[in-house]
Structure 1
Amino acid sequence: MKRKKIVILCIVFIGLLGVFFFYNMFPSKSNGVTKETENLIFSQNEKDLKAIHICNKLNELIFEQVEGNDGLEWKVKNAEASIDEVKLFETIQSLTNIEAINIIKEDTGNLAEYGLASTEIKAILVSRDGGKQTLLLGNPLPTGKGYYFMVEGSKTIYSVEKKTAQPFTITLNDLVLNNKQGNLNGAQFHEITYQNGADSIVMKQVTDSSSKYFSHYYLAEPYDTRPQVNESSEAFETIISVLANVLPMETVTLSASNLSDYGLDKPAVYVEVETLDGELRAISIGKQKENGIYYAQFDKEPAVYLVNLGEYSSIFAIDAFALANTTPVYTFINNVSAITINAESASYQMEYQKSEEDKTNTEMTNVNIEFLLNGQATNEEEMRGVYLDLLELNADSELADNKQSLAEKAAITMEIQFVNEEIITVQYVPYNRDFYAIVIDNQYDFVIAKDKLEKILHQLEVITHSNNS
């Protein structure tokens, strides 16, 4: 009987021992401790900080938190060049939230062994009440995959990843804007991509010096006719403004394990530009957290931020048609030598004759032009008026995937000859009772109301009659 009790007690003891080891090796999820929290060895609310001093072998930097127009903002002290605010924000976030790979030693002992005795590389966080905390970065790990790290005054040495160590070695040059953020304009990119769900718009830089181009870009997708981009359109300005002005408000996570939690696995909107020097600038916009506040990622980096898109809500409703310039001519009149319009009832040739000196004038002002209509000198104001109307002769709708075959011949043909002798031909082919299809090089993407063309023809008829009377 006693033996039986002893056996039972042994079984119970072994069971309790197993439970003890299980709970020590695998912490319960119910205790609220996650892997991320366990790895977070240093955290400081940046709003409580007055300044951060970074000291390394290359330079000393001071980041100061000052009162700005929209509350507290970080500045780099004595920085004369424009600072990349995204990089600065990410640096501050990294320094105030330090994650470790492992604990190396809990009794510091010989700090020189880990490169932590000289404190050549450090970050000093100065709070508003005058308190200071110093973070020390030591030697690279033997594996080459990180560095030794400790908080001055503690007795624990940690290993941290390279990305955690990067802010400690940052230089002023690393933070300089270098055309990546802010001050973006319409002439800085090889390519601009806008994606909204399955719809994609691609704008590419005009690389030839053709006189027919006024814009820096043409629409490579989704149109076959590749119209110029209207850079003064609200749609284009919104795209550039979002890239230039939308900055992180708050860090959600430095590396999301599941992007679908934020709607970033399939972003609602993705905008990307490639600059002339090959740099990538991008923003992915995910779910809305609250009114006007969205989850976002920058430059294809893993960190997730909150951004305020209240001012730029139209970024979700960009369409290619709003970006396209669909007029037959879209350039300065100085670049055009003649426009010929052939209709079923009449033909009109408008000539813009310049002196030999003015033909080589690269300025857009002080150019003397003689205006001819069908060989006759014509009133300048009237002819400039017709040209301005041609500049506004935009399509009324895109056809997208609803194109139908064009059975009829062109009712109106417009031929534009440029000063460099390049010629483009635009045909207006009947599409239905009310619209012409705008055909260029046997391709068409748009239709225009017939009465718009009739108005131009009527103007030219009136001017011709006036010349002959």
Structure 2
Amino acid sequence: MSGATRRGRNLLILGGILLVLLGSCAYLQFQARQGAGAKTAPDPPPRLISRLDEARIARLVLESPQGKLTLVQRDGAWNVDAPYPVKLDPVALYGLVANFTALRAREVIDPRPGDLAPYGLARPALTASAVLTDGTERRYALGDLAPSGAGYYLKAPADPAVYLIAASDGRKFRYSLADLRDRELPAVAPERLNYFKLSRSGGAAIEIVPDDSAGGGRSDSPLSVWKMVQPYREPKPVNSDRFKPVLDALAGLSTLTEVVADHPADLAPYGLAPARAELIAGDGQTRLHLLIGKERDAEQVYCKLADEARVFTLPQAGLAFVETKPFALIERFVCLVNIDAVERIEVAAAGRTRTIAIVRKPSAATGGEAATFRVDGKTVAAAPFRKYYQSLIGLMAEAENDRGPVREAPEVRTSFFLRQGPQEGERRVLTVNYLPYNADFYAVERDGRTEFLISREQVGEMLRRLAALARGR
């Protein structure tokens, strides 16, 4: 084949390809113009099946195989048709009433069905009625849930059509009294807690209030936020970390599980006459007064609010704090005193009294004070002294004294003489006596009270450290 012939054939092929490309471009442009001009048909708006004025509705009646629920409206307020008031959830109630005041359909399934059975409407198991103040009635029949789950079939009065209403609206027509009950309890904010009292049948009450004196230097609780004023004869600082689980549990008491009786004639079957425990908590705005009864089963406990008749249940796990012991919540320091508030200390044991003095003078270098530490008149270095002081104020009670007052003579005594005072409510000397209790423990006496125990080993170690400090070791 000659070169001219080959060139001619190639030109013909290229020309054919060019024609195909030009045709494709023209087709695509045509399709684009067609697409730009086309508009997607919007979903049809929900169809209003019925509209009612809430003020004209006297009663709402829901009937199902589970029973009949009637709500009545009096003076603009809705309640259950019962001889006593039932506390209702305003949100759930609003949703149900809205089903009657403005009922809308997602679509018309069949304008004139020949057979209602495929929709569960031949013999509907559930009907919802609104009885108006003039005596007329609007009755809706609710059928099956559509296979897609998108909604329920519904037939309106005097209307042959079958509608599909939203699944959420269908569920409202299926409400029982349990669905409409208000399950919220007074919610106390733990971060604003200003009062807490827990009383137990046969046990000591725990009462806790804010510690307004915290951080005052000479306080026994310089870091505490709360103080326990019961059951001990003297207020005790509360340990925030140990109290936190109780506060967390308190925050969880916001929703009841189930109402078991609206107006019981007898509270004894629920362990509420008298109650097993009683909780009072407040945050300055909300107050919770809860009576706690016996266990319903392994998971639920009967309870009631003090100012309400209804009995309900709460999860047993959320009420575990009821068994908390007072000693588990307090700071257990025997005598926690800020060193800056102390002028001298006397420690008496085994017939000998050692005197620890803190001598302070103005410091030109710091503009404050410079302290010198002496044991029995002998100056000791600051570092070992401060280490000893931590062991002295770090003595901690280890148990409650369950035997009553201890009358024995003290074997060990520590006395803190404060720099200033007395101011209002302030003591010049804080004294702790350690009285023989048994072979392992001392009873800790403060202000004539012996409520706590401390191990002899703890006190003995403090004395050994003091002896070593006096020897300059």
The normalised TM-score by structure 2 is: 0.54
- Cα distance change, pair 110–256 in 1 and its aligned pair in 2 (3 A): closer
- Cα distance change, pair 165–334 in 1 and its aligned pair in 2 (3 A): same
Kindly indicate whether residue 238 of structure 2 is the aligned counterpart of residue 229 of structure 1.
yes
Q: Which residue of 1 aligns with 2:301?
A: 294
- Cα distance change, pair 165–266 in 1 and its aligned pair in 2 (3 A): closer
Q: Which residue of 1 aligns with 2:23?
A: none
Q: What SS does the corresponding residue of 1:457 show, helix, strand or coil?
A: helix
The percentage of aligned residue pairs carrying the same residue is 17
Q: Distance in 2 between matches of 1:97 and 1:298?
A: 27
Kindly indicate whether residue 460 of structure 2 is the aligned counterpart of residue 454 of structure 1.
yes
Q: Distance in 2 between matches of 1:96 and 1:42?
A: 14
Q: Distance in 2 between matches of 1:438 and 1:347?
A: 20
Kindly indicate whether residue 348 of structure 2 is the aligned counterpart of residue 342 of structure 1.
yes
Deviations 1:289-343 (A, max 9, x none): 3433333335644343333343x56414211222233423235545555443222
- Kept in 1: contact 2:270–2:302 (CA 8 A): yes
Q: Distance in 2 between matches of 1:133 and 1:378?
A: 81
- Cα distance change, pair 378–244 in 1 and its aligned pair in 2 (3 A): farther
Q: Which residue of 1 aligns with 2:169?
A: 131
Kindly indicate whether residue 431 of structure 2 is the aligned counterpart of residue 428 of structure 1.
no
Q: Distance in 2 between matches of 1:334 and 1:303?
A: 56
Could you tell me which of 195, 199, 224 is aligned with 1:195? 199
Q: Distance in 2 between matches of 1:91 and 1:387?
A: 61
Which structure: larger Rg? 2
Q: Which residue of 2 aligns with 1:102?
A: none
- Cα distance change, pair 450–291 in 1 and its aligned pair in 2 (3 A): same
Q: Distance in 2 between matches of 1:393 and 1:246?
A: 37
Q: Distance in 1 between matches of 2:418 and 2:311?
A: 50
Could you tell me which of 317, 321, 326 is aligned with 1:320? 326
Deviations 1:197-249 (A, max 9, x none): 2222223443446531333333332222433333332xx22332221123325
Q: Distance in 2 between matches of 1:381 and 1:302?
A: 64
Q: Distance in 1 between matches of 2:411 and 2:188?
A: 48
- The residue identity in structure 2 corresponding to 1:412 is V
- Cα distance change, pair 201–183 in 1 and its aligned pair in 2 (3 A): closer
Kindly indicate whether residue 268 of structure 2 is the aligned counterpart of residue 260 of structure 1.
yes
- Kept in 2: contact 1:293–1:307 (CA 8 A): yes
- Cα distance change, pair 387–131 in 1 and its aligned pair in 2 (3 A): same
The normalised TM-score by structure 1 is: 0.54
- Kept in 2: contact 1:438–1:445 (CA 8 A): yes
Q: Which residue of 1 aligns with 2:447?
A: 441
Could you tell me which of 388, 391, 411 is aligned with 1:389? 391
Could you tell me which of 34, 38, 41 is aligned with 2:70? 41
- Kept in 1: contact 2:304–2:310 (CA 8 A): yes
Q: Distance in 2 between matches of 1:97 and 1:297?
A: 27
- Kept in 2: contact 1:219–1:227 (CA 8 A): yes
Q: What SS does the corresponding residue of 2:352 show, helix, strand or coil?
A: coil
Q: Where does structure 1 lack aligned partners over 5 or more consecutive residues?
A: 1-32, 44-55, 57-87, 99-104, 112-126, 136-163, 168-174, 361-366
Q: What SS does the corresponding residue of 1:224 show, helix, strand or coil?
A: coil
- The residue identity in structure 2 corresponding to 1:395 is A
Q: Distance in 1 between matches of 2:292 and 2:346?
A: 47
Deviations 1:327-379 (A, max 9, x none): 2323554555544322233414253858699x99xxxxxx9874624255544
- The residue identity in structure 2 corresponding to 1:201 is I
Q: What SS does the corresponding residue of 2:373 show, helix, strand or coil?
A: strand
The CA deviation at 1:456 is 0.2
Q: Distance in 1 between matches of 2:408 and 2:325?
A: 29
Q: What SS does the corresponding residue of 1:325 show, helix, strand or coil?
A: coil
Q: How many aligned positions are there?
A: 316
| Coordinate RMSD, CA, aligned | 4.6
Kindly indicate whether residue 342 of structure 2 is the aligned counterpart of residue 307 of structure 1.
no
Deviations 1:151-177 (A, max 9, x none): xxxxxxxxxxxxx9999xxxxxxx9x9
The CA deviation at 1:417 is 4.0
The CA deviation at 1:455 is 0.7
- The residue identity in structure 2 corresponding to 1:195 is S
Q: Which residue of 2 aligns with 1:398?
A: 400
- The residue identity in structure 2 corresponding to 1:441 is D
Q: Which residue of 2 aligns with 1:330?
A: 336
Q: What SS does the corresponding residue of 1:451 show, helix, strand or coil?
A: helix
Kindly indicate whether residue 211 of structure 2 is the aligned counterpart of residue 206 of structure 1.
yes
- Kept in 1: contact 2:301–2:315 (CA 8 A): yes
